[in-house]
A and B are shown apart, each in its own frame.
Chain A
Amino acid sequence: MRHRLIFPSLVLIPVIAGVLFADIAVAFNYSDLPFLIAFVIYTVFILIQRSRSSLTFSIAMLLLIYMGLSYIPTGASRVTERFGEWFYLFFLFGLIQYAIEIRGAQ
């Protein structure tokens, strides 16, 4: 079953990115809802793809870079802050994912 979902699940990547950028564009009025939506979808994606935590850390790193790029023109604006919040949550998710990986290895 999981194998059959691997390819279709790739569609979740633009969905997650869409939620993230819609949030940055104030579509959710900076509520916690996009966090919930994005991470539920991301969890499903991880389970199907069996992705490693390094992917999540890479996304976190990407968000950190985005935060830096946003800071240059806008300073510590709400958009820059929001990138920071996403970074934190992806880093946290990566750590949790990594803890599960270690347990699994044992």
Chain B
Amino acid sequence: MSKRWQTIVLVGIAATLFLIPNLFWGNLYIVGGDDARLYYLYPLEYLKNFSFNVMSGNTLGGNLGYTPVSYSAPLIVVFLFLKTILPFVNTQLVSYGISFSLGFLFFYLFLQEWNTRKTPFYFWSSVVASLSYLLSLYLLRTFFQSQFISLFLRMAMPGSLYLFVSGLNRKSVSRVIASSLFYSLFGASVYGFPWLLPVLLTLIPLLIYFAVRHGKFFWKMALVFVGVFVLCNVYWIIHYIIPVLYNSGEANYTASLTASSFIQRNNDLIETITYLNSPVHQIAHYLRISWQDRGNITLVQTLGVIYLSVITGAGILLGRVKKDIRVLYLVASSGLLLSMLFETPNFGSWSVRLFQFLNTHIPFFVIFRNMYDKFALAMAFNYAFTLWISFMVIIESKILRPVVYILLVLTLGVTLFRSIPYVSITGGNGVSTRIGALNQDYMDLARYIKNMHTASRFVWYPMTFGDYVYIADRNLPNHYYVGISPLQIFAQASDLAGFYGLQTPGDPELNWKVLGMLQQGKFTEVGNMLKQQNVGYVIVNNEKAPLSVPFVLEQFDFMKSQTEQYKKTILGEKIRDFGSRYSLYAINPEFRSPAVFLSDAEIPFRKSSDGAYDIGPFTTSGKTNLTLMEPYSRLWTLAPPQGTDVMAYGYGNQWALTEPGTFHVKAEFWPNKLIVPSIVFSIVAAVIATVYCVVMWI
């Protein structure tokens, strides 16, 4: 088989993979859920109004505290680019197609870094292994189901690894830099870490192999990779460093992950999740992803055992092949066994104990608590890599060529056949979460709110249990966006959409307290809670909730408990209607509270676009407290300084003014000042690195 034909076959497979989502999945956007996925439809709004906020306005439908959410910005820039140059195509499906085809090609190229033989067998074994990676149930049942932005890791990880390995093999620094740049662009940075770190953990045998083979050069290149990554990602890394350096005191995601109570709670969860998949599942290359997924593995799915049969068979034949292949088999199989162990630690009780030990003693290991999902990419990669090297072992051991080809065809058939049920997109129960665009009433509402320039927050009526909002499609009946509230994306306004959004860093149990208040009809207390959360307006959603997604929207009668009486209690003056779908109200004046106030008086203030507040002038006659209803952090500063910042109402900031006098102060969250410089720094670093790579390749 000539090289030309091999290229034609590869391009044909890549093109087919690209076309699958674009030809067979319609032209609607798959939206909603915890990730919103509206960045495919509205990338510019996402970047302008949401991506780079670090304190207020950095959470959709809730309150996260000081956390950067710009992890997805490079990818969203790519979507924006696609939408600009191809305005009539579905950006989401095109990018899915790209990730499919490039995922396949990069894995193939990665394998070629080990393969110096160009015979048809080696070619086809690489193709089969690459397809088994891309169509692995471990990817299809995790990334493909949730469709979080991290799904681009299926392309970014093999792409980055290929460039890194080729850089090592060719002693090329520019390839290693390109590897780091590629991961920075497509890896969803910090959001991709929960999947990337397991890959690195299971690639430890491979990394040791590189370290032994390339000596100091490997360590230098590893340093180059990390260095370029850090420089190009300063725009979000810096916001993880500041709270540590300044001991800023706010409860944030990072802090909660290291809390011992959280870790202990998750040891129990780990033990439970271990029973979700049995060793049979890992061995048959199958995955259960939820407790609803009760059925046994189907007969077709059990055919996945062919992978481990080939791998084990190759182990028996190891003695017959050259040393370099034997060593590579050892390295790849070790990675596979590590993946299998962590994917679901159920190879005896020792493996559960080991996982719990790591969870308890290794900081942040707790992010792998739902290990069947987090180690899925590692499983897919290691399975495919070990399968490929096993084929190498089998052919090198001089077994009859037809037997080898039968094995290849069987493996390919099993891979394709098993993947079919999970590659197709199906609708559900008459209501679809695929849309063409959000309805015009919602867009009018968002535009109106944006022009209000208010520092107050908005609460939805009714709030939902899953912290989701439901927004109908512009044209199609029964098509809804059901996901976290995108108000921040369109209106730059913070809102409370549901149960989980009620939690605050200062009072993580507030949502349960509110549920109790609602169930007991204590609506005034709920109103006071809204007051303490700086809620100034109520958005009434007049549309009925789509009934087929009640589990997401309604639990514990949370929606039902928000009765007409509750509505009457919290509503103030009507501001206006937006079509028949939405009505905007001021909150009942009893519960209205400005964003900035003194304990005993309201005072003038103005919020500027960068989140700073110009407060005053105002006069005090004695001791009083100045309250700013923005998420609490010690990194809020008053200029000139006034006392110590303490948390107010489990949410905001408060300073004691001890001396009477006239004040005119400026309150600002000073890390906001670093947002633009850090972005500029990252862009400059990325441009320099790119130019270096281009110059070196020319």
The interface of chain A, by Cβ under 8 A from chain B, is 31-32, 35, 52-54, 57-58, 60-61, 64, 67-68, 71, 75-76, 80-81, 84-85, 87-89, 91-92, 94-95, 98-99, 102, 105
Contact of A32 among B309, B316, B317, B350 (CB under 8 A): B350
Docked-complex contact A76 and B312, CB < 8 angstroms:
no
Docked-complex contact B349 and A32, CB < 8 angstroms:
yes
Closest 7 CB pairs of A and B: A84-B279, A57-B315, A76-B280, A57-B316, A81-B278, A88-B347, A61-B312
Neighbouring B residues of A99 by C-beta, 8 Å: 330
Docked-complex contact B348 and A53, CB < 8 angstroms:
no
The interface of chain B, by Cβ under 8 A from chain A, is 278-283, 296-297, 302, 305, 308-309, 312-313, 315-319, 323, 326-327, 330, 333-334, 337, 340-341, 346-350
Docked-complex contact B337 and A95, CB < 8 angstroms:
yes
Neighbouring B residues of A52 by C-beta, 8 Å: 319
Closest residue to A82 on the B side, CB-wise? B279
Take A85-B347, A95-B337, A102-B330 as given contacts and tell me if A53 and B318 are in contact as well, using a CB distance cutoff of 8 Å: yes
Instruction: Count CB-based A-B contacts (< 8 Å).
Output: 91
Neighbouring A residues of B318 by C-beta, 8 Å: 53-54, 57, 98
- Considering the chains assembled together, what is the distance between the CA atoms of A88 and B339 in angstroms? 12
Neighbouring A residues of B317 by C-beta, 8 Å: 54
Neighbouring A residues of B302 by C-beta, 8 Å: 68, 71
Closest residue to A105 on the B side, CB-wise? B323
- Considering the chains assembled together, what is the distance between the CA atoms of A32 and B348 in angstroms? 6
- Considering the chains assembled together, what is the distance between the CA atoms of A102 and B319 in angstroms? 10
- Considering the chains assembled together, what is the distance between the CA atoms of A105 and B309 in angstroms? 27
- Considering the chains assembled together, what is the distance between the CA atoms of A87 and B284 in angstroms? 12
- Considering the chains assembled together, what is the distance between the CA atoms of A102 and B327 in angstroms? 8
- Considering the chains assembled together, what is the distance between the CA atoms of A94 and B283 in angstroms? 17
Docked-complex contact B280 and A80, CB < 8 angstroms:
yes
- Considering the chains assembled together, what is the distance between the CA atoms of A80 and B282 in angstroms? 12
- Considering the chains assembled together, what is the distance between the CA atoms of A60 and B309 in angstroms? 10
Docked-complex contact B337 and A91, CB < 8 angstroms:
yes
Other than the known A81-B278, A95-B333, A102-B326, what 15 A-B pairs have Cβ atoms closer than 8 Å? A32-B348, A52-B319, A54-B317, A64-B305, A67-B283, A68-B305, A80-B278, A81-B279, A84-B280, A84-B347, A85-B348, A94-B315, A95-B337, A98-B315, A105-B323
- Considering the chains assembled together, what is the distance between the CA atoms of A99 and B281 in angstroms? 27
| Chain B interface SS verdict (over half) | helix
Docked-complex contact B283 and A64, CB < 8 angstroms:
yes
- Considering the chains assembled together, what is the distance between the CA atoms of A64 and B307 in angstroms? 12
- Considering the chains assembled together, what is the distance between the CA atoms of A54 and B280 in angstroms? 23
Docked-complex contact B315 and A91, CB < 8 angstroms:
yes
Neighbouring A residues of B334 by C-beta, 8 Å: 95
Neighbouring A residues of B282 by C-beta, 8 Å: 84
B278 → chain A closest CB, angstroms: 5
Docked-complex contact B337 and A54, CB < 8 angstroms:
no
Docked-complex contact A88 and B315, CB < 8 angstroms:
no
- Considering the chains assembled together, what is the distance between the CA atoms of A16 and B348 in angstroms? 18
Neighbouring B residues of A53 by C-beta, 8 Å: 315, 318
Neighbouring B residues of A67 by C-beta, 8 Å: 280, 283, 305
- Considering the chains assembled together, what is the distance between the CA atoms of A35 and B351 in angstroms? 12
22 chain-A/chain-B pairs, Cβ below 8 angstroms = A32-B348, A53-B315, A54-B318, A54-B319, A61-B313, A61-B315, A67-B280, A71-B302, A76-B278, A76-B296, A80-B278, A80-B280, A84-B280, A85-B279, A87-B279, A88-B340, A91-B312, A95-B334, A95-B337, A102-B323, A102-B327, A102-B330
Neighbouring A residues of B281 by C-beta, 8 Å: 76
Neighbouring B residues of A87 by C-beta, 8 Å: 279, 283
Neighbouring B residues of A92 by C-beta, 8 Å: 337
Neighbouring A residues of B319 by C-beta, 8 Å: 52, 54
- Considering the chains assembled together, what is the distance between the CA atoms of A61 and B390 in angstroms? 14
- Considering the chains assembled together, what is the distance between the CA atoms of A60 and B318 in angstroms? 14
- Considering the chains assembled together, what is the distance between the CA atoms of A75 and B297 in angstroms? 8
Neighbouring A residues of B337 by C-beta, 8 Å: 88, 91-92, 95
- Considering the chains assembled together, what is the distance between the CA atoms of A37 and B395 in angstroms? 37
Closest residue to A58 on the B side, CB-wise? B316
A94 → chain B closest CB, angstroms: 6
A28 → chain B closest CB, angstroms: 11
Docked-complex contact B326 and A64, CB < 8 angstroms:
no
Take A68-B305, A88-B347, A102-B330 as given contacts and tell me if A61 and B296 are in contact as well, using a CB distance cutoff of 8 Å: no
Neighbouring A residues of B326 by C-beta, 8 Å: 98, 102
Neighbouring A residues of B323 by C-beta, 8 Å: 102, 105
Docked-complex contact B349 and A31, CB < 8 angstroms:
yes
Closest residue to A55 on the B side, CB-wise? B316
- Considering the chains assembled together, what is the distance between the CA atoms of A72 and B296 in angstroms? 12
Neighbouring A residues of B316 by C-beta, 8 Å: 54, 57-58, 61
Docked-complex contact B312 and A60, CB < 8 angstroms:
yes
B173 → chain A closest CB, angstroms: 31
B698 → chain A closest CB, angstroms: 42
Neighbouring B residues of A81 by C-beta, 8 Å: 278-280, 346
Closest residue to A106 on the B side, CB-wise? B323
- Considering the chains assembled together, what is the distance between the CA atoms of A70 and B337 in angstroms? 22
- Considering the chains assembled together, what is the distance between the CA atoms of A95 and B575 in angstroms? 71
Neighbouring A residues of B340 by C-beta, 8 Å: 88
- Considering the chains assembled together, what is the distance between the CA atoms of A70 and B103 in angstroms? 36
Closest residue to B311 on the A side, CB-wise? A91
Docked-complex contact A76 and B297, CB < 8 angstroms:
yes
Neighbouring A residues of B327 by C-beta, 8 Å: 102
- Considering the chains assembled together, what is the distance between the CA atoms of A98 and B340 in angstroms? 19
Docked-complex contact B279 and A64, CB < 8 angstroms:
no
Neighbouring A residues of B278 by C-beta, 8 Å: 76, 80-81, 84
Neighbouring B residues of A35 by C-beta, 8 Å: 348, 350
- Considering the chains assembled together, what is the distance between the CA atoms of A31 and B326 in angstroms? 34
Docked-complex contact A60 and B330, CB < 8 angstroms:
no
- Considering the chains assembled together, what is the distance between the CA atoms of A68 and B350 in angstroms? 24
- Considering the chains assembled together, what is the distance between the CA atoms of A102 and B331 in angstroms? 12
- Considering the chains assembled together, what is the distance between the CA atoms of A68 and B410 in angstroms? 17
Docked-complex contact B312 and A57, CB < 8 angstroms:
yes
- Considering the chains assembled together, what is the distance between the CA atoms of A52 and B319 in angstroms? 9
Neighbouring A residues of B283 by C-beta, 8 Å: 64, 67, 84, 87-88
- Considering the chains assembled together, what is the distance between the CA atoms of A71 and B280 in angstroms? 9
Docked-complex contact A64 and B308, CB < 8 angstroms:
yes
A74 → chain B closest CB, angstroms: 10
